[in-house]
Amino acid sequence: MTASSRPVAILFADVSGSTTLYERLGDRQALRAVEQVLDLLRRAVATYHGRVVKTIGDEVMAVFADADGALQAAGDMQTRVSALPTFADARLAIRVGFHFGPALEENGDYFGDAVNTAARMAGLAKSGQIITTAATVACLSPLLREGTREVAALVVKGKQSEVQVCEVLWQSGEDVTMLASKGTQASTEAVLRLAHGGRTVLMDGDLAAVLIGRDATHHIPISDKMASRLHGRIERRGDKFYYVDLSTNGTYITIEGDVETVLRRDQALLRGRGTLSFGHSAAEPGAELVQFVCEYRPKSA
């Protein structure tokens, strides 16, 4: 069958915290818990007239005819999952990303830029969060549009220019993290605090890039033999900080609240607080770590 292109809303939702659950409960019980969450996601998709395209591990991909359906399903998913009891003192949560745009349909599956962008939005979302694009928000009905807010313009892999990212506010007001007003942002500056071996490097307006690796002349010299001579670089871009991996063995990144991910010859936005490990997991004995904290401080007069 020949692939046809049409505008649809692609949604990705995956279970965060499942790795911890498998460690605590073992494979059989953890699988049942994850499947319970996936069943709730499928029900939410059906409620808003979407279709589950496929399930891969602990991730669901779904398609909707319009952006409204995807947003309503995403909020329903978060509400259903947040009401679940804990499993062995571990609370399962999900992160959701969606995007509305043209996609190729072939044999029931979808391909193309809209799918890739939706997957990137899910990757940017934190546990308990729904992320979409400003282009998708513009396609929402006015009432639903009021339940979103702009987060930032971010560099997204595969895109030549920055993508304006938005958050869907599905929680009650007291649970929503307030964003600084534009006036507040104008009076502050973003800084990145990097801690390594008892030493702190502060990336502020005077330091645009930090080099990390086994070369002793770098800003942060790493002694771990799994690290490359120039392992990675942290770049300041406006008020955001990006880690660029340049290594042979990859960089392991953990952002607080998320599971550890591996970056190989790629880049990632550093947000909140977390750790970097070079060439192997931070959980391995003797791993050499760089702790990072993104924060704002008043601008100098």
* Structural domains of the chain, with CATH: 4-175 (3.30.70.1230), 185-298 (2.60.200.20)
> Is pLDDT of 188 > 80?
no
pTM of whole model > 0.95? no
Q: What is the predicted pLDDT for the residue at 182?
A: 41
* C-alpha distances in Å from residue 233, one per residue of 210, 213, 246, 287: 6, 9, 8, 19
> What is the rounded distance in angstroms from the CA atom of residue 145 to the CA atom of residue 138?
8
Q: pLDDT tens for residues 196-243?
A: 988 999 998 778 889 999 999 899 999 999 999 999 999 887 778 889
Please tell me the number of Cα atoms within 13 Å of 90 on its side-chain side: 20
How confident is residue 185, by pLDDT bands cut at 50, 70 and 90? Answer: very low
Q: Give the DSSP H or E segment for 298.
A: strand 289-298
Q: What is the predicted pLDDT for the residue at 186?
A: 45
